[in-house]
Structure 1
Amino acid sequence: MRLVRYGERGAEKPGLIDAEGRLRDLSAHVPDLAGEVLADLSALKAIDPRTLPPVEGSPRLGACVGQVGKFIGIGLNYADHAAETGLRVPREPVIFAKYTSCLSGPDDPIIIPRGSVKTDWEVELAFVIGRKGRYIPEEEAMSHIAGFCVCNDVSERNYQAERSGQWSKGKSSDNFGPLGPWLVTPDEVADPGNLRMRLTVNGEVMQDGSTATMVFKVPFLVSYLSQFFTLHPGDVVTTGTPPGVGMAMDPPRFLKAGDVVELEVEGLGRQRQLCVDDA
């Protein structure tokens, strides 16, 4: 299934994309794609999409999961990205928080915060927890995942690396966490460890990589994170980025108002964001 949330910000409704690519309304069956709804999607899978009301027009798409409890980032998780930044591949996953107030829809604007001088892009594969778990064995990890989606881990590098403290202040500005367009259930993702990833800025290819160069794979990450805290339905983990980020260019290149960022992960859909200055 390709699940979506559509409508005005803060009032999104659940929906799905049918085999013909048409948006259909799920709100008569579930209140939101969130929490315990994600723990068991079997009832939704049993619905014939043709029986659902079609949604007319082209409504805004919101983040593809609602009521997110934890939004966890994994840093330096691609060997080729670590190499371009001049940093060693970590012995264990680097974990940081993206505060949930940064969540936005896949085509909402990237808001460049006041005083920003180094706003950067990162195309990433994200997964959403479906089944609650603690101390999850790696061989059981995939059964705890509700689905996969595209994430742009937008990052302000000056705030992240040069303003002291943890990375989260550079990762959590408003609209720095576009998720979607769809939450794709695991049965439709043949191999999350081998998906093409691509990002352009103003039509110029910046990132063109694959999840095949991911250091710590998805099952390991689920198990690893669960050793430190309980994973709950709706928690989001974004798993790192391939090479081609702006800070690693010579000279470095960063986003400015008017730039258009487009990104995709194979089988998971596309995002498009216009960069705007914060009011």
Structure 2
Amino acid sequence: MKRARVAYLGAIHDALEAEGGVKLPDGRIVGENEVVWLPPVQPGTVFALGLNYADHAKELEFKAPTEPLVFLKGPNTFIGHRAQTRRPADAAYMHYECELTVVIGRQARKVKREDAYHYVMGYTVANDYAIRDYLENYYRPNLRVKNRDTCTPIGPWLVDAEDVQDPMNLSLRTYVNGKLTQEGSTQDMIYNIPYLIEYLSNFMTLNPGDMILTGTPEGLVDTKIGDEVVTEIEGIGRLVNTIAGDDV
């Protein structure tokens, strides 16, 4: 099942995918363009992985990390499907990052790897933009790189975990103005989903609504004002976003 959170006629609804549109709780089905899309989950604690694909680390001329490189993201960064991300006026290089996002479904503490999937509610798509100008290095992504307002579109759907047969074998693609610029597979993650849940839950409690952004493969391109960026993950969804100026 695919779930979403949308605003329609002044109210916020938990919705479902149905008949190519959005089904509201009262049974009405409306078009995708008739609603305002919200992040499909209200973020709890949000973890993001850096350099979790070997090809991406190589692309940036970094060695792959010897343990997960994790940082936290604030809820202010998240926006929904078809929303705008603001590009800072002084930015010289701002790139997308198509990432499979894991949503935790129940409290998890000291979870063993073989049990990790039992704690997953579902999956969604995130586009975790980075402004390269502000980066100290990929082992120390400062707040201006990864916690800027509007810089992490997410959604449109939360896909139930039981409907994703193998989350570690999904294709990822990014298109800028219709041109394919990034392509990879979740099977190329350095640290897979069970490993990450075991690793994180070993030293802190994970709660329902917490999310793990699992990193991006190679193929990064600078984005400009007016660009339409589409990040899609096989079986999970197609997330559309537009770059706007910082004066919006």
TM-score category of the 2 structures, normalised to the smaller one: over 0.9
Give the letter for the 1:275 counterpart: I
Partner of 2:36: 60
Overall identity of the aligned pairs, in % = 37
Partner of 1:107: 82
Report the alpha carbon displacement of residue 198 of structure 1 after superposing the two structures with TM.
0.3
Partner of 1:148: 123
Q: Deviations over 1:89-108 (max 9, x none)?
A: 11110001121100100211
Report the alpha carbon displacement of residue 22 of structure 1 after superposing the two structures with TM.
3.1
Whether the aligned pair in 1 keeps the contact of 2:21 and 2:30 (CA below 8 Å) is: no
Give the unaligned 5+ runs of structure 2: none
Whether the aligned pair in 2 keeps the contact of 1:147 and 1:183 (CA below 8 Å) is: yes
Alignment of 1:189-200 (within 5 A): 189-200=164-175
Q: Distance in 2 between matches of 1:12 and 1:98?
A: 24
Relative to structure 1, is the Cα distance of residues 11 and 225 closer, same or farther in structure 2, using a 3 angstrom cutoff?
Answer: farther
Q: TM (normalized to structure 1)?
A: 0.82
Alignment of 1:164-243 (within 5 A): 166-243=141-218
Report the alpha carbon displacement of residue 124 of structure 1 after superposing the two structures with TM.
0.7
| SS of residue matched to 2:134 | helix
The number of residues matched between the two structures is 243
Q: Distance in 2 between matches of 1:107 and 1:148?
A: 19
- Following TM superposition, the consecutive aligned residue runs of length 4 or more in structure 1 with deviations greater than 6 angstroms are none
Give the letter for the 2:21 counterpart: R
Whether the aligned pair in 1 keeps the contact of 2:15 and 2:23 (CA below 8 Å) is: yes
Give the letter for the 1:59 counterpart: V
| SS of residue matched to 1:143 | helix
Relative to structure 1, is the Cα distance of residues 228 and 169 closer, same or farther in structure 2, using a 3 angstrom cutoff?
Answer: farther
Whether the aligned pair in 2 keeps the contact of 1:96 and 1:167 (CA below 8 Å) is: no
Q: Distance in 2 between matches of 1:120 and 1:11?
A: 33
Q: Distance in 1 between matches of 2:70 and 2:93?
A: 21
Partner of 1:42: none
Give the unaligned 5+ runs of structure 1: 27-51, 247-253
Give the letter for the 1:132 counterpart: Q
Q: Does 1:256 align with 2:224?
A: yes
Q: TM (normalized to structure 2)?
A: 0.92
Report the alpha carbon displacement of residue 165 of structure 1 after superposing the two structures with TM.
5.9
Partner of 1:49: none
Q: Deviations over 1:149-193 (max 9, x none)?
A: 11101111112237x964332011111111111000111111111
Q: Distance in 2 between matches of 1:210 and 1:165?
A: 25
Relative to structure 1, is the Cα distance of residues 166 and 269 closer, same or farther in structure 2, using a 3 angstrom cutoff?
Answer: closer
Whether the aligned pair in 1 keeps the contact of 2:86 and 2:243 (CA below 8 Å) is: yes
Q: Deviations over 1:206-253 (max 9, x none)?
A: 10111111111111111111112111111111000011013xxxxxxx
Alignment of 1:97-136 (within 5 A): 97-136=72-111
Give the letter for the 1:4 counterpart: A
Q: Does 1:13 align with 2:16?
A: no
In proportion to residue count, which structure has more strand?
2
